[in-house]
Amino acid sequence: MKKQLVVLLLFIFCCVSFINCKNNAHKKPKAQTQAKFNDVYTSPLGKSFTKTPPSQKTLEQYEKAKKEFTSNPNNEENIIWYGRRTAYLAKYKEAIDIYSDGIKKFPNSPKLYRHRGHRYISLRMYDKAIADYLVAVKLIDGTENEIEQDGMPNARNIPVSTLHGNIWYHLGLAYYLKHNYQKSYEAFLNCRNSGNYDDNIVSSTHWLYMNQRRLGNEVLAKQLLEPIKEKADIIENMSYYNLCKLYKNIIPLDSIQRPKGGTPSLDAVKYGLANWYFYTNKKVQAKIILEEIVNSNSWNSFGYIAAESDLIHYYGYAKSK
């Protein structure tokens, strides 16, 4: 009788264990996934940020790009998209490594230099970004421009930027972050001349204007606003468009609210407002907004990176070693 009872208990235990194993096999290891992507980034100001876990869609797109790359690692587009999807996870060093390996295979690819340079900017490695974009500029010389597909499509699913435009845009940004406003101006002028989309015009004009105001050329800065119209077909860059309308006195300063929080779009608005105060010798008000930007969590937005650079360059903020 005892033997039968022991056998029965063992049988029940095995059944329960099997059912639990089967159920758990379909569960995602949440803690492990969190640990994988929640690594920490420390900014030049010594601020530490935990990277936000990506959405399921972003992860799926990354896995798809990785699979396609693995199946054909010598395909240039597979390399580019694997790098882009890796960068969207804020894994910028890994993305740079992917592009660097790709450049060994395709040394004359302006696309690979364009994307690697972007991620050098994300990591505040401006000299390396400039070096990459100068190579890319030479590689696109005399070539036909092409639309660059969006990794994160806009509301209308219409790409509004080009390969040439993005190369010049990011070169201009890298020079701006180094406070070389003349070279930044020249790059953004080439960017504006490379495309006809209203989004391209307002984004490049915004930086053109800021460069000339930083150089003290208010007259030229105003002349650069000529392409800005009261009605434009803007798909993505509404923040830059509203700032350009402010610069041109189409809308008043108080019509642009200082948004709370931190996103690339919100940081663009706040940085534009900070600059507006900076040009008009209201340096204390400018500093308050710059500090507000770097106290948010959007450490990888261009507005954040520019605010950080200005606080170090103009306001004596100590750069973390």
Q: How many structural domains compose the chain?
A: 1
Please report which confidence band the pLDDT of residue 15 belongs to, taking 50, 70 and 90 as the band edges. Answer: very low
pLDDT digits (tens, 9 = 90+) for 21-33: 444 434 443 333 3
Please report which confidence band the pLDDT of residue 19 belongs to, taking 50, 70 and 90 as the band edges. Answer: very low
User: Looking at the domain assignment, is residue 130 inside a domain?
Assistant: no
Of the candidate ranges 64-68, 258-262, 284-288, the one whose mean pLDDT is the lowest: 258-262
User: Looking at the domain assignment, is residue 313 inside a domain?
Assistant: yes
Please report which confidence band the pLDDT of residue 259 belongs to, taking 50, 70 and 90 as the band edges. Answer: low
Please give the mean pLDDT across all residues of the chain.
88
pLDDT at 2 over 50: no
pLDDT at 262 over 80: no
User: Looking at the domain assignment, is residue 97 inside a domain?
Assistant: no
Mean per-residue pLDDT, 142-162: 88
User: Looking at the domain assignment, is residue 94 inside a domain?
Assistant: no
Domain that holds residue 313: 257-321
User: Looking at the domain assignment, is residue 252 inside a domain?
Assistant: no
Q: How far is CA 258 from the centre of its chain?
A: 21
Question: What's the confidence (pLDDT) of residue 67?
Answer: 98
pTM confidence score: 0.87
What is the SS3 string spanning the chain? CHHHHHHHHHHHHHHHHHHHHHHHCCCCCHHHHHHHHCCEEECCCCCEEECCCCCHHHHHHHHHHHHHHHHCCCCHHHHHHHHHHHHCCCCHHHHHHHHHHHHHHCCCCHHHHHHHHHHHHHCCCHHHHHHHHHHHHHHHCCCCCCECCCCCCCCCCCCCCEHHHHHHHHHHHHHHHCCCHHHHHHHHHHHHHCCCCHHHHHHHHHHHHHHHHHCCCHHHHHHCCCCCCCCCCCCCCHHHHHHHHHHCCCCCHHHCCCCCCCCHHHHHHHHHHHHHHHHCCCHHHHHHHHHHHHCCCCCCCHHHHHHHHHHHHHCCCCCCC
User: Looking at the domain assignment, is residue 310 inside a domain?
Assistant: yes
pLDDT at 256 over 60: yes
Please report which confidence band the pLDDT of residue 318 belongs to, taking 50, 70 and 90 as the band edges. Answer: confident
Residue pointed to by tokens 């070279």: 183
pLDDT digits (tens, 9 = 90+) for 200-238: 999 999 999 999 999 999 999 999 999 999 999 999 999
User: Looking at the domain assignment, is residue 280 inside a domain?
Assistant: yes
Q: Over pLDDT 90: what percentage of the chain?
A: 75
Question: What's the confidence (pLDDT) of residue 321?
Answer: 65
User: Looking at the domain assignment, is residue 54 inside a domain?
Assistant: no
pLDDT digits (tens, 9 = 90+) for 79-104: 999 999 999 999 999 999 999 999 99
Please report which confidence band the pLDDT of residue 150 belongs to, taking 50, 70 and 90 as the band edges. Answer: confident
Q: How far is CA 238 from the centre of its chain?
A: 17
